Amino acid sequence: MNSRRLVTLGLLFFFISFVLGVGALYYRSALAQSSRTVRLSVNEPVIWIFERPTSPRIYYNISCSSSGSFRVIMRFLDANRRDTGLLNVEGGPMATVNGEKLLDCPSYGMTLNLVKGNITTCVVELSYYSADIQILSLLLVAQLITSLIAVSLAILWFSKKVAEGSRDTTGARGYEAP
């Protein structure tokens, strides 16, 4: 294989690897958002099943209002509807809680339960990564393979250049000036 073809193939595989890497970063960074307003009565939990599972890291903003003090417990649920994480919102007539929560595993839904207080209205806003780990893994494996091919082609090209250069210099060394 000639040098020009090696360089062209190496650059092509490098470009493919670069595009796969940027694509994986973009795919991983996509945030999904869900929002819901719920009206809660004491000890009457509301179940919210998400359209698709969340990532284990969830960003939340929860605002609740009531006529007096209240306490709302929110439980994130896994695929078998077992608890994967817990959030408490307590306050007077109004309370807002925001932050992030790292769950044990992806969440498929949540329950909201008013355990203390009068009827309470809550606005729950969630943001989370929506990347499918299998697709992300496939992208990363493809990037690894293409980058290894690109590096192999670069090493092959370099070794050919070194071999060509050593052939040129050995002929020159055998020549002696008169």
| DSSP secondary structure letters along the chain | --HHHHHHHHHHHHHHHHHHHHHHHHHHHPEEEEEEEEEEBBTB-EEEE-SSPPPSEEEEEEEEEESS-EEEEEEEE-TTS-EEEEEEEEESSEEEEEEEEE-SS--SEEEEEEEESS-EEEEEEEEEE---HHHHHHHHHHHHHHHHHHHHHHHHHHHHHHHHHHHHHHHHHT----
Q: Calculate mean pLDDT across residues 64-85.
A: 91
Say which CATH number the domain at 48 has.
2.60.120.660
Q: Are residues 69 and 142 in the same domain?
A: no
Domain of residue 21 covers: 3-26+134-161
149 within domain boundaries: yes
The whole-number pLDDT of residue 104 equals: 87
Model confidence at 18: pLDDT above 80: yes
Q: Are residues 41 and 84 in the same domain?
A: yes
Model confidence at 3: pLDDT above 90: no
Model confidence at 171: pLDDT above 80: no
Q: Which residue has the higher pLDDT, 176 or 38?
A: 38
The whole-number pLDDT of residue 33 equals: 87
The whole-number pLDDT of residue 27 equals: 77
The whole-number pLDDT of residue 142 equals: 94
What's the domain count of the chain?
Answer: 2
167 within domain boundaries: no
Phi, psi of 15 (to 5 degrees): -65, -45
Model confidence at 30: pLDDT above 80: no
**The two structure tokens encoding residue 47:** 């179940």
Count of Cβ atoms closer than 10 Å to residue 81 Cβ: 13
178 within domain boundaries: no
Amino acid identity at 112: L
Inter-residue contact 155 to 104 (CB < 8 Å):
no
Model confidence at 7: pLDDT above 90: no
Q: Are residues 38 and 93 in the same domain?
A: yes
Query: Are β-strands 57-66 and 94-102 bridged in parallel, bridged antiparallel, or unpaired?
Result: antiparallel
168 within domain boundaries: no
Q: Are residues 99 and 74 in the same domain?
A: yes
pTM above 0.85, yes or no: no
Q: Are residues 101 and 138 in the same domain?
A: no
87's torsion region: left (phi>0), alpha (psi -120 to 50) or beta?
beta
Count of Cβ atoms closer than 10 Å to residue 138 Cβ: 13
The whole-number pLDDT of residue 178 equals: 53
Tokens 């609740």 found at: 64
Q: Are residues 57 and 102 in the same domain?
A: yes
